[in-house]
Copies of this chain bind each other. A is one copy, B any other.
Amino acid sequence: MAFDFSPLFPAGTPAPAVRWTGAPKYNFTGGNNDPDAVPLQGLMQAAQTVLEREGRTLATYGLKSGPQGYKPLRDFLATKLKRDAGMTCAADDILIVSGSLQALDLVNAALLTRGDTVIVEQDNYQGTLTRLQKLGVNAVGIPLDQSGMRVDVLEAALAQLKARGIKPKYIYTIPTVQNPTGTIMGEARRIKLCELADQYGVPIFEDDCYADLVWSGDRPRAIHAISKSDNVIHIGSFSKSIAPALRVGFIAAPWGVMSRMLALKTDAGSGSLEQMVLAEYCAPHFADHVPALRTSLRKKLETLMETLNEQFGTAAEFDDPKGGIFLWVKLPDNVDTLKLYQSALAAGVAINPGPEWSTDKAHSISRMRLCFASPSHDEIREGIAILAEVCRKEFGVPERSANIERMDEHGER
C-alpha cells in the first residue's frame, strides 16, 4: 500500500503542483525569449575557451571566486552597470544568484516577516505579488501612468502609513521597462523617489531585470546611481538579455544587507558553468548582442500590435511600450480576463489575466499581459486571431465587422 504523505504537510503548505503536460500552442505568457536571438555560436565558443582555460576549477565549490560568484562575471557586471546605468559598484558589492527570482527571495528573507508592509507598483510582476502574499506581507500598490510609478501618490501613501505608525520595509520598483506596463520612470521621478525614501527612512528595492531591453538603447540612470544614501538594493538578470534557462542574475547591495543575504544563501553558489560561459561571452560581445536582440524583439512587438489592431480594433487599447517583452492590453470593461484566460487556454492560447498582475483587481480585471518574445511572427498572428475569436464568443467583443474590416485593410497592403 502506498504511503500517504499528506498528514505530514505543515499547515499553509501551498497546494500541490499539477502534472506538466506541455506548453500551450500559442504561448503569450512567461518571460521566455526569442529562440532565434540566442547567441549560440558565441556561447559555444565561450564554453570551449573557458573550459579549456579553467575548467578544472569546477572541482571546487565557488570556483576560485568564493561565495559571491564567479569573479570575472562580477567584474563584467561592475563595468556594465557603470557604463549603462551610471552605477558605482565594485565586484565585491555584487552577489551572483540563480536568476532574479532568487534575488527576490533573498531580499525578502533578509528583510521581511509576517505582518510587514511594503510599497509596490500597483500593476506588477506576478511573482513579486505571490511571494509577498505567501510571506503574509501587506503590499500597498501605487498606481502608474505613462512615466511609471506616480510619486505624488507614493508621497501621500508614505504620509498616510506614517500617520498610522507603519514604516514600510521597502519601496519595490521596476523603474525601467516596468512589468507589465512597459513604462520607464523619468529622471525627475527617480530623484523624487530617492528624496522620499530618505525622508521616510525606507530603502528602495530596484528590480532592473528588463533594463537592457529599452528600444532606444538609452536607459535612464539607475536609482542605485541616483541615491546618495546607500539605501538601494539593485537586482538584475541575464534572463532577458541572453537566455532565461541559464538562471543567472545578480544583486548589487550595500554590505550591511548583502552580508545578511549571503548568510541566508545556503545553496553553495549558482551554476558555475553558466557563470563562466556568460562572463566569457559577455565581456567582449554583450554590447553588440543586445542591440540585435532588441531589433528582433521590436519587430515581434510590431507584429503583435498590428495584429491586435487588425483583430480587436478599438476593443484593445495599449501604449507602445518603451522596451521589453510584454504588452499590457486593456479590453472593454465587460471582459473578465480571468474567464478569458480559461477559454483561451482551452483553445490553445495562453495569456496572463490582469488580476494576477496587479494589487488592484477592479482596475486589472479587463486587462491582460501578452508576452511576444517567444512565439514566432506567424504564431503571434494566429494566436491573436484565435484569442479575438474566443473573446468575441464569450464577451461579444471585438465586434465581427470591425475585425473583417481590419482584415481587409491588411489584405490591401
Residues of B within 8 A of A32 (CB): 59-61
Residues of B within 8 A of A315 (CB): none
Q: Residue of B at shortest CB range from A52?
A: B44
Secondary structure dominating the interface of A: loop
| Residues in A204-252 with C-beta less than 8 Å from chain B | 229-231, 243-248
In the assembled complex, the CB of A207 is this many whole angstroms from the nearest CB of chain B, namely 15
Check A67/B3 contact, CB under 8 A, given A10-B112, A99-B267, A244-B60: no
Residues of B within 8 A of A66 (CB): 20, 22
Asked if A360 is an interface residue, CB under 8 A from chain B, the answer is: no
CB distance A243 to B374 under 8 Å?
A: no
CB distance B16 to A263 under 8 Å?
A: yes
CB distance A59 to B40 under 8 Å?
A: no
Residues of B within 8 A of A146 (CB): none
Asked if A111 is an interface residue, CB under 8 A from chain B, the answer is: yes
CB distance B256 to A4 under 8 Å?
A: yes
Asked if A266 is an interface residue, CB under 8 A from chain B, the answer is: yes
Q: Residue of B at shortest CB range from A105?
A: B266
CB distance B268 to A271 under 8 Å?
A: no
In the assembled complex, the CB of A126 is this many whole angstroms from the nearest CB of chain B, namely 11
CB distance B17 to A67 under 8 Å?
A: yes
Residues of B within 8 A of A127 (CB): 266
Residue from the list B2, B10, B112 in contact with A254, Cβ < 8 A: B2
CB distance A44 to B43 under 8 Å?
A: no
| Bound Cα distance from A58 to B270, whole angstroms | 17
Check A268/B254 contact, CB under 8 A, given A59-B38, A111-B9, A229-B2: no
Check A271/B256 contact, CB under 8 A, given A55-B38, A57-B35: no
In the assembled complex, the CB of A171 is this many whole angstroms from the nearest CB of chain B, namely 13
CB distance B38 to A58 under 8 Å?
A: yes
Asked if A340 is an interface residue, CB under 8 A from chain B, the answer is: no
| Residues in A127-152 with C-beta less than 8 Å from chain B | 127, 131
Residue from the list B58, B113, B259 in contact with A243, Cβ < 8 A: B58
Asked if A89 is an interface residue, CB under 8 A from chain B, the answer is: no
CB distance B243 to A271 under 8 Å?
A: no
- Identical chains bound together, number: 2
| Residues in A1-40 with C-beta less than 8 Å from chain B | 1-6, 8-11, 13-20, 22-23, 30-38, 40
Residues of B within 8 A of A247 (CB): 267-272
CB distance B271 to A270 under 8 Å?
A: yes
CB distance A245 to B229 under 8 Å?
A: no
Asked if A102 is an interface residue, CB under 8 A from chain B, the answer is: yes
Q: Residue of B at shortest CB range from A2?
A: B230
Asked if A317 is an interface residue, CB under 8 A from chain B, the answer is: no
Asked if A154 is an interface residue, CB under 8 A from chain B, the answer is: no
Check A61/B246 contact, CB under 8 A, given A56-B40, A230-B3, A273-B271: no
CB distance A272 to B254 under 8 Å?
A: no
| Bound Cα distance from A190 to B205, whole angstroms | 50
Other A-B contacts than A13-B260, A38-B56, A98-B98, 13 sampled, CB-CB below 8 A, are: A3-B231, A8-B169, A16-B263, A19-B92, A38-B59, A40-B56, A47-B273, A59-B374, A60-B245, A98-B270, A105-B266, A271-B273, A271-B274
> Could you list 25 examples of A-B contacts with CB < 8 Å?
A2-B229, A5-B203, A5-B254, A13-B260, A15-B263, A17-B259, A17-B262, A19-B92, A23-B60, A31-B61, A40-B52, A44-B52, A44-B55, A47-B47, A47-B273, A57-B245, A58-B243, A58-B244, A58-B245, A59-B243, A59-B244, A244-B268, A245-B271, A246-B271, A247-B267
Residue numbers of A with Cβ under 8 A of B are: 1-6, 8-11, 13-20, 22-23, 30-38, 40, 43-44, 47-48, 51-52, 55-64, 66-68, 92, 98-99, 101-102, 105, 110-113, 127, 131, 169, 201, 203, 229-231, 243-248, 254-257, 259-260, 262-264, 266-274, 277, 373-374
Minimum-distance CB pairs A-B, first 8? A271-B271, A3-B231, A20-B66, A16-B259, A245-B272, A10-B113, A17-B262, A58-B243
